[in-house]
Structure 1
Amino acid sequence: MKKKIFQFLAKVNKKVLPSFTKKGLDLAKASKLQMAIFGYKLWVTKNALD
């Protein structure tokens, strides 16, 4: 059940949130908001794959 929720969130994130890797964002120069979004997407992806 938990995995299904994270898989759904991952699909929503892909459609709604920006892709920083495609934009070539340098994480050393990223704003706090960009880092928070990146961390959230990473957390969701990690839990969707487990």
Structure 2
Amino acid sequence: MKKSLFRLLAQINKAVLPSLSKRRLDLAKASKWQLALVGWRYYVTTRALGD
């Protein structure tokens, strides 16, 4: 159940949130909200793929 929840969240992230890699975001120059967004997407993706 937990894994399916994170898979659903990953699909929502992909559809709704902007892709920062397509914008060539430099993490050294990223703002706080951009870093938080990268961290959130990483967290959800690892939980959806893991276990």
Give the partner amino acid of 1:43.
Answer: Y
Q: TM-score, normalised by structure 1?
A: 0.98
Aligned to 1:36: 36
Aligned to 1:12: 12
Offset of 1:20 from its aligned partner? Answer: 0.5
What are structure 2's unaligned runs of at least 5 residues?
Answer: none
More helix by share: 1
Offset of 1:28 from its aligned partner? Answer: 0.3
Q: TM-score, normalised by structure 2?
A: 0.96
Moved over 4 A (4+): none
What are structure 1's unaligned runs of at least 5 residues?
Answer: none
Offset of 1:3 from its aligned partner? Answer: 0.3
% identical equivalent positions: 56
**Would you say how many aligned residue pairs link Structure 1 and Structure 2?**
50
Offset of 1:24 from its aligned partner? Answer: 0.3
**In 1, distance between residues paired with 2:42 and 2:17?**
12
